[in-house]
Structure 1
Amino acid sequence: MEVLRVGDVDGRGRAKEHSSGYATGGAEDLPQWDASLSSSRILLVLPLLQMGFPGQTTALLCLSLVLLLGSRVPGVQGQEFQFGPCRVEGVALQELWEAFRAMKDIVQAKDNITSVRLLRKEVLQNVSDTESCYLLRALLKFYLNTVFKNYLDKAADSRIRKSFSTLANNFFVIASKLQPSQEKEMFSISESARRRFLLFQRAFKQLDIQAAQTKAFGEVDILLTWMERFYQF
């Protein structure tokens, strides 16, 4: 077991539409498409988040106990996400759904703002395969740093603790394996993804922080439904 220091990681077919601070605002504050996440580790998120490391810049220091595993997980061979050129093996979509469904009723029951949707169609609709790699990495980093990190107090002593940790672990693994191209010819695609992410981030910031975290967590099923488009069985 070792300590992994990762810096600066932001990031259902449901009929119903709907830390300590917000992630910072302008385009210059958006997650960059860097290669700073290790692709061969599964993170044990929950225990270290409970230690309460201060500050946005140390968000992922809290996510630091790791278990070294191979890039493939037994039982999911032949199953992978393919976000354009970004390939993610070793994550079972069914496990993500099972983890969220175990928390769904508890989390969504706390969402009292049914007129607002963060992951609306302008964010997720008509995203090209290549653009999906940039967009998903930004969204997952945001969920890890801003939503899951600050939702931990609610998860620590409740029935959702195990499922919460499973979901966060898998989000980290996926984000770590998404390494979108930084070549100049991809600039227009990466900028399109950034604009989509900004729509999500701005909608989040317009709500009270607690309400925004609850709503974002409750919309994980929307995110998983979108991610299914890129899953290969």
Structure 2
Amino acid sequence: MGRLSGRLEAHSCMTRIAGAGPGRFERILLVLPLLKMGSPMQRAALLSLSLILLLWSQRPGVQGQEFQFGSCRVEGVVLQELWAAFRAVKDVVQAQDNITGVRLLRKEVLQNVSDAESCYLIQALLKFYLDTVFKNYHGKAAEFRILKSFSTLANNFIAITSRLRPSQENEMFSISESARRRFLLFQREFKQLDVEAALTKAFGEVDILLTWMEKFYQP
């Protein structure tokens, strides 16, 4: 009878947890086998612990934020971490930018971007930042002693690109010629500058990029 009771309690807990959504079941998984062992009081305590863990996993902010770039869906991103990391280096980086009359992420690149365009554009921009800007600015970041925040930004950009997923309504990424022209405007302006100046300016404009990304945040 004791074993049957333990199984029923475990099954009941499993049923409640199964509806919690992806990623939350794993938090409770290690607790469930223990529900079959020990006294009724111990099993009740473990069951309570599992429910507390479930409630904790459902708190606002634990799952991060969600972005919807057209058909590209990004879950589990905490934008505040990106802002905090950039603000920690903003003054140092932007003080090195002596070409104030040029803007890479100008209005023609980011203004009035449609949902279909945003899917392609965010991927192209983040890929460029990872492959070109962060890769080649690492030495400067070490020189200015801002590697911690620099790494936070780079790692979060990697995480975002790895989480880009098409929505259920449209499994194919929408790649429009208009979005491609927007990205090429940014890339062309970057290539017209001296390499070091271009890297500094691009990194200094991360706040412009983050501001644009916020427009696609889904509460």
TM-score with structure 2 setting the length: 0.67
Shift of 1:157: 4.7
Q: Distance in 1 between matches of 2:93 and 2:139?
A: 13
Number of equivalenced pairs: 159
RMSD: 2.3
**Equivalent pair of 2:69/2:119 in contact (CA under 8 Å):** yes
CA contact (8 A) 1:76 1:91 kept: no
Distance in 2 between residues matched to 1:208 and 1:158, nearest whole Å: 20
Query: Which of 136, 144, 168 is 2:122 aligned to?
Result: 136
Distance change >3 Å, CA 207–CA 148, structure 1 → 2 = same
Contact 1:82-1:230 at 8 Å conserved across structures: yes
Quote the residue 2:131 is aligned against: 145
Q: Which residue of 1 aligns with 2:183?
A: 197
TM-score normalised per structure 1: 0.63
1:182 CA drift (Å) = 8.3
Do the aligned partners of residues 179 and 134 (structure 1) sit closer, same or farther apart at CA in structure 2, a change above 3 Å counting? Answer: farther
Of 99, 103, 112, 1:117 maps to 103
What do residues 120-149 of structure 1 show as CA deviations (whole Å, max 9, x unaligned)? Answer: 000001101121110010000000011010
Q: Which stretches in structure 2 are left out of the alignment for 5+ residues? A: 1-59
Q: Which residue of 1 aligns with 2:214?
A: 228
- Identity in percent: 80
Find the counterpart in structure 2 of residue 174 from structure 1: 160
| Deviation of the 1:231 alpha carbon | 1.0
Which SS does the other structure have where 1:118 is aligned?
A: coil
Structure number with greater CO (CA < 8 Å, separation at least 6) is 1
> Which segments of structure 1 move beyond 6 Å, counting only runs of 4 or more?
none
Query: 1:95 maps to which residue?
Result: 81
- Higher-helix-fraction structure: 2
Compared CA separation, residues 177 and 99, structure 1 to 2 (3 A): same
**Mapped partners of 2:69, 2:82: distance in 1:** 17
Asked if the contact 1:76/1:92 (under 8 Å) is kept, the reply is no
**Contact in 1 for aligned 2:71/2:171 (Cα 8 Å):** no
Supply the distance in 2 between the matched residues of 1:130 and 1:146 (Cα, whole angstroms).
25
Quick one: which amino acid aligns to residue 138 of structure 1? A
Spell out, residue by residue over 1:138-189, the C-alpha distance to the aligned partner (whole angstroms, 9 max, x if none).
00000001101000001125431111001001111111222567859x4xx5
Q: Name the SS for the 1:130 alignment partner.
A: helix
Distance (whole Å) between structure 2 residues aligned to residue 88 and residue 179 of structure 1: 6
